[in-house]
Structures are given as C-alpha cells and as structure tokens.
Amino acid sequence: MSEVKLFSGTNSKLLAEKIAKHYGKKLGDLTMSKFSDGEMSPSFNESVRGCTVFLIQSTNPSADNLLELCLMIDAAKRASAYKVCAVIPYYGYARQDRKDRPRVSIAAKLIANILTSAGADRIMTCDLHAGQIQGFFDIPLDHLNGSAIFVPYLERLDAKNLIFAAPDVGGVARARSYAKHFEVEMVVCDKHRKRANEVASMQVIGDVEGKDVVLVDDLVDTAGTLCKAAQIIMDKGALSVRAIATHGVLSGKAYENIENSVLKELVITDTIPVKQISEKIKVISVSDLFAKAIHAVTGNTSISALFI
C-alpha cells in the first residue's frame, strides 16, 4: 500500500485540520503562492512520489477555490503521486445540473469534466444537490450523506411530536428518508419562483398542527425559501420549526433573514466556513465522517457503514 498524505486548500483549512486529526495524521506541507495580480501557484514542500494524496477543498464561489483545487491536483500528478483524490465537502455549481430552460450551461457536468481533466483519480463529496451528478463522472465518486451526523443530533432532541418537511418538491426524497428512519409523517412546501433566490408563492401540503417540524434541505443560500416555509408552517399551527441543511452557503441577507425568522434553530455543517456567529445557527462538523471515509478508501473497505 502506498503512503497516504492529506493536504488542504486555503478555503477548507480548518475543516481539513479536523479531518487530519480524526484520521490520525498531520496535514501535509503545501504553499499556495500568489503573484501580485492574484495568479495562484501551489507547491508541495514534501515528496508525494508514489503516495495516495487527498486534497481537501470546498469549491464554493469564488471560482478561485475551484481553480486552486485543480492546480493542486495538477501539481500532485506532475510530482508523481500514485493516486490523487479530490475531497470536496461542498461541490460548487451543483445547482446547475440540467437544462431547465433554453441556452443555459450544465455547470455541474462542466465542473466534473474540469476536475477529471486536471487529473483527479477519485472524488469524495457530501450531499450533492442532485444525486444524478454522480453520473457526470467517469471516475470513482464517494457520495457521503449528512444524515450520518444529523440523525444522532435529532435523536438527542427527544421531540415527541416530530414531523419532517421538504421546503420544496425537489427535496421530497431527502425529507422522506428522515421520516422513514424516525417512523413519522412528512409534509411538503410547494413553492413557485419568479427568479433565482426569489419565491413568488408557497403552500404547505400536509398537516403540521401541534407538531415539532424539521425542515430538511441540502443547502441554505439566502435562506429566503427556508424562512418563508417556516413562517407558513407556524401559521398552520406547528409548535416549533427548526431546519437542518448540510451546506451553509449563507449569502446575501441570509443571516438577517434567519435572525428575523420564526426558526428555532438552523443546524448546518462546516463544509463551508461560517462567516459570522449567530445564536440561531448551530454548526456540527463532518470531519469525523470524512476521516472514516478516507480510512475506508485507503483500506479498501466498504463505506456503506457510514450511511444511516
């Protein structure tokens, strides 16, 4: 077996350090130099020849995060690494996974092509916006599930009137999997958008009266949909509303929207660095989940034990 080495991009340094600690290794020494115009130049300060290299970097905008990861992959391949695995806790541009209107890009497929062309031998990620994105790759992809950390958290709440809700029709399968595990009912918030990040109308399909509702989503961007869904659910007679979402993108007025909402709490993970502290936002780490997945990959064992 080849030696395993873990390195981090600048965007995911804190998470990478936690992953390395759980894995039982220190992060490798890598320098990301920049020219005065912003051009990036990565260099490994230790040998990776013949090593299985894991490069940890979320690719949320700006595009520099993606380009930095590609440059690291290229540098590792040119340094004669045996295998290069791109560990992407948050896979950016995943929302553009199909042509939903004429003359648009399928960005998720383009990113898959870019990563493969850069030289990645394997991809490891968590809670893709759409599961079918796995099919965009012709190399192995390990798709981890955030339920492995959210389910234990929800079990500790010991809510007696628990019910799950999908904030839109696209999240029904995700919410149903939680409802099935806890053996409770689920409801759906049916929304109509005028344009991206702007909800025109929404209605709740199902009964939430007297229930403690958990909204389930893969990511929170401006939190507009989430906060509107929470308000409508409370108006329908729910006792409380909290939300769980793997990726806290939290752009625009997200923090303001969450603070002013009826949400009891928003539970996210550290796949994306949190920009500011909020009493309503709780962050739990995916570091142990990724460390166990890396152990499974390097030990040629199944990762199915990581799924709930």
Q: How many CA atoms lie within 13 A of 34 on its CB side?
A: 7
Backbone angles phi, psi at 58, to 5 degrees: -80, 145
Could you give phi then psi for residue 248, rounded to 5 degrees? -95, 80
Q: How far apart are CA 240 and CA 225, in angstroms?
A: 17
Measure the CA–CA gap between 99 and 135, rounded to whole angstroms.
16
* DSSP H helical ranges for the chain: 13-23, 64-78, 107-118, 147-157, 172-182, 224-235, 254-259, 287-298
Q: For residue 112, give the nearest of 66, 72, 145 by alpha carbon.
A: 66
Do residues 173 and 183 touch, judged by C-beta distance below 8 A? Answer: no
Please, where are the H alpha helices in 61-131? Answer: 64-78, 107-118
**Total Cβ atoms within 10 A of residue 306:** 17
Question: Which uninterrupted H or E stretch holds 142?
Answer: strand 141-144
Residue 160 φ then ψ, to 5°: -85, -25
Please state, in angstroms and rounded to a whole number, the distance separating the CA atoms of residues 272 and 283: 10
Spatial contact of 233 and 266, defined as CB atoms under 8 Å apart: no
Question: Active site includes 109?
Answer: no
What whole-number distance in Å separates Cα of residue 25 and Cα of residue 5?
8
> Which residue among the candidates 5, 83, 191, 211 is catalytic per the annotation?
191
Q: What angle do CA 19, 22, 28 make, to 5 degrees?
A: 55
User: Distance between CA atoms of 231 and 227, rounded to whole angstroms?
Assistant: 6
Catalytic residue ranges: 191
